[in-house]
Structure 1
Amino acid sequence: MTGTPNDAKALAAFVDHTLLKPEVTAADVATLVEEGAALGVFSVCVSPPFVSLAVEVAAGRLAVATVCGFPSGKHLSDVKAFEAARSVADDADEVDMVIDVGTARSGRFDAVQTDIAAVRAAVPADRILKVIIESAALTDEQIVGACKAAEAAGADFVKTSTGFHPAGGASVHAVSLMARTVGAAGGGRLGVKASGGIRDLDTALAMIEAGATRLGLSSTAGVLAGFEAGAVAPASTDTY
């Protein structure tokens, strides 16, 4: 996907419409899917127990993504791989895994790569694997190292954030650095997903201009409404 969107329909095609709060119910997920379909988003992103329900309600109208090792990344690699495989068995189209951020902060990028590769082995090539690096908690050098590890392990995307880390979510700087490292901006093959704290149109467009090819949004309707003359996105307390 290239170019900066100039209307709500074009922007919606970048969006993973997301609901990952722990208090979410099955009814909430069904509502999320219907909202996503009405808005024309690329996918919905839900917690693993809700994948089958989301797939059923979506009925092919949009993709279904889920998460793995979420939100801390402090899971054994084989546990992450099992979780990913179960989600694929439930017909998830995409899996967003969280790395062990402490391992990246320690500079052990070979171990980061091994962790990602374990999940990649559980997610077949016809399904998308995104790697959440929690960019706000990393230095630039660590962001580059984590992105290169994701590329070497066979991931399809790198992703900024879970939206649950106290260090913060996506930043234009991190997205730009990630895109230059493994994305099209640097001649690489990986997509870049910006997520965490994107709650208005200006921020969403800035992320795309910086190199994001996908956006994780929980305030999707409010962001898209920014294209309407004089529209102001409603305040949101969502963390994602």
Structure 2
Amino acid sequence: MTAPTQPSSAAELATYIDHTLLKPEATPADVEALVVEALGLGVFSVCVSPSMLPVSVPEDSELKVATVCGFPSGKHEAEIKAREAALAAERGADEVDMVIDLGHAKAARFDLVESEIRAVREATPASVILKVIIESAALSDEEIVATCRAAEAAGADFVKTSTGFHPAGGATVHAVRLMAQTVGARLGVKASGGIRTLAQAREMIGAGATRLGLSGSAAILAEWDGPVAETRADAEGSEY
């Protein structure tokens, strides 16, 4: 399979980015500053904690608002996740990134993984993009594949690598490539957790990521100063 096309400019790379602020100590003033920075950078969205909604975005802006659900542990009842997602949609969220109950995946209860994702999907309008955080660093390859299949069956729009809070780690090129291979072009793939450089961002895109969750967006975009050297992911391609 042909390797995904790399962005050709900082402005194009920015359109991949969910500009993220999920620190527990974040204040309304921090969120306001996040939005101002996001507008200046030209990113796709801002991603904030659900308690920070609604977020004020200029009416003439295309900036989207994303939030999280069942974050960061995923150890919440499906009904609670569904209500949290529904409330977020009512408060203006365009996208919801939900965390699965990782224990279900580790116990090979992918029927339960699917049912909780479906509960969240059914609780939110079809217009709200649903991303499913699978915490890929804590899963085997077989578990990643089965979890991605459950997410697709439940009606998710994206699968996402990580919360960025799990001790097992964040996104890896291997996990992103495997996730992209599993869902094909049917779902998006969001890489998040530990992406701190332009080279890492490009590697994730080369592996098949269609969205990036970044907290250091400004620093990464500032690295762009013309043609970038070929990364390992570019060189390997995406042999699905």
Q: Under a length normalisation based on structure 2, what TM-score does the superposition of the two structures give?
A: 0.91
* Structure-1 separation of matches of 2:65 and 2:172: 25
The offset of 1:183, in angstroms, is 2.6
| Superposed counterparts of 1:170-185, under 5 Å | 170-184=171-185
Does the 8 A contact of 1:37 with 1:58 survive in 2?
no
Aligned match of 2:16: 14
Matches within 5 A, 1:56-205: 56-59=56-59, 61=61, 62-184=63-185, 189-205=186-202
Q: Deviation digits for residues 129-183 of structure 1, max 9, x if unmatched?
A: 0000000000000000100000000000000000000000000000000000013
**Alpha-carbon distance in structure 2 between the residues aligned to 1:60 and 1:22:** 30
* CA–CA separation in structure 2 for the residues paired with 1:58 and 1:183: 34
Distance 1:198 1:72 in 2: 20
> Are 2:209 and 1:212 aligned?
yes
CA distance in 2: counterparts of 1:80 and 1:60, whole angstroms = 31
CA contact (8 A) 1:33 1:58 kept: no
SS class of match (1:96): strand
Unaligned runs of 5+ residues in structure 1 are 232-240
How has the CA–CA distance of structure 1 residues 174 and 33 changed in structure 2, closer, same or farther, with 3 Å as cutoff? same
Amino acid at match of 1:204: A
Q: 1:47 aligns with which of 45, 49, 52?
A: 49
Instruction: List per-residue Cα deviations over 1:63-100 (Å, max 9, x = no partner).
Output: 00000000000000000000000000001000000000
| Secondary structure class of the residue paired with 1:57 | coil
- In 2, distance between residues paired with 1:152 and 1:41? 29
| Cα distance in 2 for residues equivalent to 1:142 and 1:58 | 41
Larger RCO (CA under 8 A, 6+ residues apart): 2
Structure 2: tracts of 5 or more residues without a match: 229-240
Percent same amino acid at aligned positions? 65
Tell me the SS of whatever aligns to 1:82: helix
Amino acid at match of 1:64: V
- Superimposed CA distance per residue, residues 25-56 of structure 1 (whole angstroms, 9 cap, x where no aligned partner): 0000000011001000000000001121x2x2
Q: Distance in 2 between matches of 1:135 and 1:201?
A: 21
Structure 1 residue 223 displacement after superposition: 0.6
- Kept in 2: contact 1:113–1:153 (CA 8 A): yes
In the alignment, the residues of structure 2 paired with residue 211 and residue 99 of structure 1 have an alpha-carbon distance, to the nearest angstrom, of 22
**Corresponding residue number in structure 2 for 1:237:** none
CA–CA distance in structure 2, aligned partners of residues 59 and 30 of structure 1: 15
**Which amino acid in structure 2 is aligned with residue 139 of structure 1?**
S
Query: Cα distance, 1:58 vs. partner?
Result: 4.3
- Classify the secondary structure of the residue corresponding to 2:114: helix
**Which letter does structure 2 place at the counterpart of 1:215?**
L
Q: Distance in 2 between matches of 1:153 and 1:57?
A: 31
Residue type matched to 1:109 in 2?
F
Question: Which residue matches 2:232?
Answer: none
Distance (Å, rounded) in 2 between the aligned partners of 1:73 and 1:8: 34
User: How many residue pairs were aligned?
Assistant: 224
Contact persistence 1:30–1:57 (CA under 8 A)? no
Q: Which runs of 4+ in 1 moved over 3 A?
A: 57-60
Q: CA RMSD in A?
A: 1.4
Partner of 2:156: helix, strand, or coil? coil
